[in-house]
Structure 1
Amino acid sequence: MFFLFSRAMLDFAALFLAQANASAQVHFVYDIAAGRVIFVNHAYEQVLFGTGAGVNAELPALLARIHPDDRGYLAEHWARWVQGEQLSEINVRLQRVNESAQWFAAIPYYHPAATGALLVCTLHDISAAKHHQANSDLFNSRKNVTLEVLSHDASGAFIMIEQLAQYLRDELPAAVKPEVGQMLKMLENTSRESVKMIRDLIRLEFTAAVATNLKIDRVDVGEILRGPLEQLHIGYELLGHHFAYELPEVAVYANLDVSKFTQVVINLVSNAMKFTRDEGHVRVAVVGLFDRVRVEISDDGIGIPAPMLPYLFERFTRARRLGLRGEETVGLGLSLCKTIVEWHEGTLSVASTEGEGSVFTVEIPLAEGVDSRLPDELAAAVVFS
């Protein structure tokens, strides 16, 4: 019986080795007590350009290629993995000379063997998927910014046409042909319907985005907001409005659904513009704090009456009102923004003084591995220790 059991184990080990070596992904087995890799498959040579026999000697150079912002993040998870805890997948980057970083999904498995615990890990190269996701997020943010800026400008123009048509129709002398009044009425109705269509389109885009499942990634908040905020800056400045933004000088990482979070910021900026006069100012500031990241959207607009503040984030809130240019709202925007922020385990709050302006503040937790901002040598020293 012992012979049969041993033979079965040998067959299983041979099958594992054959499958691992046939895989296009990197697989390695790490002996935790010995502190060394005891197996790495053939893909290591094709993907990471090392040699199987020299993997332990090559580890220091390989670890030195880990992106500085990911070293503490990986170290924190590795410390848990070797204890058999929190065996969750993480994404890390390897730097390459004169090329973009190479992204890997590291998937761990802890094996408490009688002869000593082992950590088995698979490295999936997800560079292409990350590249496509970044392009998709950038496209979505550009689309949303364009819609918001154009709707802001077009809605204002249509509202003005509607008001002018209504004024002219009311002031027409009785002697004027009836057809003129009918045409002005048609112009008034067309303008009103055009404004409604534009706002409905924006609302549908936002609610459709909210309805999709969360796709959380560990990202640099300043970097993912840079593109949308710059587009808002260009768009609003072309329309004669004053918009500015400030980003952190160092990377600040949080776990975000990039598309949903950028849409929240875009909506809050659009809302600030709605209640700020043309000569007023809207500003966004992104700040990295000890345990969280803060995004402040401030304006020097008309502010919010104190009685409205307790109801501001309710669905179909009684605090809804027309914008300065006649923009309508059904009171869903701020409620959905608050919901999305809370999905990220964050908070959305407001401070406002009527006649002086408002500040909307979003705060979300920093991602794990905040020690990624420690000196490189310290972060690297705890990896594979």
Structure 2
Amino acid sequence: MFDFASFFLEQAEANARVQFVYNLTDHHVAFVNTAYERVLHGTQAQVNNELPALLGRLHPDDRVYLAHYWRMWSKGLISDEVEVRLQSPGQPDEWFCLTPYYRKTASGTVWLSGTLHNITVTKQYQQNADLFNSRKNATLDMLSHDLSGAFIMVEQIADYLRQEIKPEPDGEMLKMLDVLASTSQDSVKMIRDLINLEFLASANSALKRDRVNIGDVLGVPLEQLEHGQRLTRHHFSYSLPAAPLYADLDVNKVAQVLINLVNNAIKFTPDAGTITVRVEPGPGCVRVHVIDDGIRIPLEMQPYLFDRFTRARRPGLRGEHTTGLGLATCKTVVEWHRGTISVVSAEGQGSTFTVELPLSEVIGSVPVA
């Protein structure tokens, strides 16, 4: 008769991922495969003695998070994967993904088993891709304002020349001025359409949330926007929380929401106006405020501001076109993250858009060993 127990034991020993079984009732590791020695550089026979030191290598920002996860797991209330970082002296942090399994026997013994594998390369690739996308989108948005402004000025000059040239310009000159004006209009529309398409494409892609430090991921586009402020002729500044704040975010989508809100502030703030972004902690959430001293949003428009194809559409101060989809899409993305978006706008005070996003769920702190 085929010995299934031996077969699965051999399979576990041959696995490149760490596989383990923990007896929660007796608080000891009942089994760990030899991958423990290759992946975590321990000694298989000494795993119970080495466990406290291994847990001591957890990144400080991940300890309470994993403690909450452990409490839920030990009650059979969670089966999702969790990602944590381990530290080693003089070495970069390593990322590990834990896949859990829970089993309670008829006698009451609780067994926790799972696999652990190193995902450092994957995380580094993802972080680099997010970094590139955030910088690219912020740079494109700044350049679009600069190029749109130049084309709008050309259009205005063409209209001025048409009215001011005396005597009346001949037919050919009128045609050339018309071509100049229409080409400028088409160019502005094309630039804004490309930016809107980029935003909508990002917003409509599948949601992929990761636990990230808000200051790290939003700092990238904010830094890029600050570098690009000379192109928009505005005063731009931002502030980030002093301590880490972790939330489960789709980094690209949330960064695009931030860029879109700053873009709106630029559209409705005169040259030399001030735009400020503040990222700060709130009760159980992180708050992102985008503040400008531009023209206010009329009170009658505010209830419809986040509607799709809203009646609150209006051109920017420099003639920028609007589709009526930007703020509606921002609201959708924020709600996907179980957050809220709101606006306060009053005469002489400009506008403040506020996004609130819930922090990663951590309820209490319990020991993980």
Which of 185, 191, 197 pairs up with 2:190? 197
- The letter of the residue matching 1:209 is S
Residues in 2 aligned to 1:140 and 1:225: alpha-carbon distance in whole angstroms:
12
Q: Which residue of 1 is the match for residue 96 of structure 2?
A: 104
Alignment of 1:278-317 (within 5 A): 278-317=271-310
> Which residue in the other structure is 2:206 paired with?
213
Worse overlay, 299-308 or 97-106: 97-106
Aligned partner (choices 158, 161, 164) of residue 165 of structure 1: 158
1:74-133 CA distance string (max 9 Å, x none):
111111211222122111111122222111111100122345221101112111111111
1:33 aligned partner:
25
| Corresponding position of 1:144 | 137
1:14-36 deviations in Å (ceiling 9; x for gaps): 12211111111111110111101
Distance 2:173 2:158 in 1: 11
Tell me, yes or no, if the aligned pair for 1:105 and 1:126 is still in contact at 8 Å: yes
Partners of 1:289 and 1:342 lie apart in 2 by 17
Report 1:178-257 matches (<5 A).
Answer: 178-237=171-230, 239-257=232-250
1:338-377 equivalences under 5 Å are 338-369=331-362
Determine which of 23, 47, 59 is the counterpart of 1:67: 59
Distance 1:155 1:347 in 2: 31
CA-CA distance at 1:234 after TM superposition:
0.6
Judging changes above 3 Å, is the alpha-carbon distance between structure 1 residues 370 and 361 closer, same or farther for their aligned structure 2 residues?
Answer: farther
- Output the CA distance in 2 between the equivalents of 1:114 and 1:54: 30
SS for the counterpart of 2:300 is helix
With 164-173 and 67-76 compared, the bigger mean Cα shift is at: 164-173
Aligned to 1:375: none
In the TM superposition, what are the counterparts of 1:323-338 in structure 2 within 5 Å?
Answer: 323-338=316-331
Deviates more, 1:157-166 or 1:168-177: 168-177
- Residues of 1 paired with 2:110 and 2:143: CA distance? 60
- Report the CA distance between 1:311 and its aligned residue: 0.8
Aligned: 1:119 with 2:116: no
Distance verdict in 2 for CA 1:291–1:268, change over 3 Å: same
For residues 319 and 256 of structure 2, the distance between their equivalents in structure 1, rounded to whole angstroms, comes to 23
Paired letter, 2:320: E
Residue segments in structure 1 that go unaligned for 5+ positions in a row: 1-6, 372-378
User: Partner letter of residue 87 of structure 1?
Assistant: S
Listed one character per residue, the Cα deviations across residues 266-320 of structure 1 (whole Å, up to 9, x for unaligned) are 0001101111111111011111123111111011111111111111011111111
Residue in structure 1 matched with residue 126 of structure 2 by the alignment:
133
Q: Is the 8 A contact 1:237 1:243 kept in 2?
A: no
TM-score of the aligned structures, taking structure 2 as reference length: 0.96
Tell me if structure 2 keeps the 8 A contact 1:29–1:119.
yes
TM-superposed CA distance for 1:143, in Å, is 1.3
Q: In terms of mean alpha carbon deviation, does 165-174 or 132-141 score higher?
A: 165-174
TM-score normalised over the length of structure 1: 0.93
Runs of 4+ displaced beyond 6 Å:
none
Q: Is the 8 A contact 1:31 1:117 kept in 2?
A: yes
Kept in 2, the 8 Å contact 1:306–1:354? The answer is no
Q: Is the 8 A contact 2:68 2:363 kept in 1?
A: no
1:222-278 per-position Cα deviation (integer Å, ceiling 9, x unaligned): 110011100000101354321111100100011110000000000001101111111
Q: Which residue identity is paired with 1:13?
A: A
Unaligned segments of structure 2, at least 5 residues: none
Q: Distance in 2 between matches of 1:75 and 1:12?
A: 35
Which residues of 2 match residues 10-21 of structure 1 at below 5 A?
11-21=3-13
Match of 1:376 in 2: none
Q: How far apart are the structure 1 equivalents of 2:63 and 2:82?
A: 12
Residue 173 of structure 1, CA deviation: 2.6
Taking the aligned partners of 1:97 and 1:21, their CA distance within structure 2 comes to 29
Show the counterpart of 2:34.
42
Q: Secondary structure at the match of 1:156?
A: helix
After TM superposition, give the deviation of residue 175 of structure 1 in Å.
5.1
Comparing 96-105 and 327-336, the one that deviates more: 96-105
Give the C-alpha shift of residue 183 in structure 1.
Answer: 1.1
**Does 1:56 find its partner at 2:48?**
yes
What is the CA-CA distance between 1:361 and the residue it aligns to? 0.4
Q: How many percent identity over aligned positions?
A: 56
Q: Is the deviation greater in 300-309 or in 106-115?
A: 106-115
Give the Å deviation of 1:328: 1.0
Q: Distance in 2 between matches of 1:311 and 1:112?
A: 53
Q: Displacement, 1:370?
A: 6.2
Q: Which moved more, 1:336-345 or 1:235-244?
A: 235-244
What SS is found at the alignment partner of 1:219? strand
Question: 2:84 pairs with 92, 98, 105, which one?
Answer: 92
Q: Is the 8 A contact 1:31 1:119 kept in 2?
A: yes
Q: Partners of 1:238 and 1:14 in 2: how far apart?
A: 68
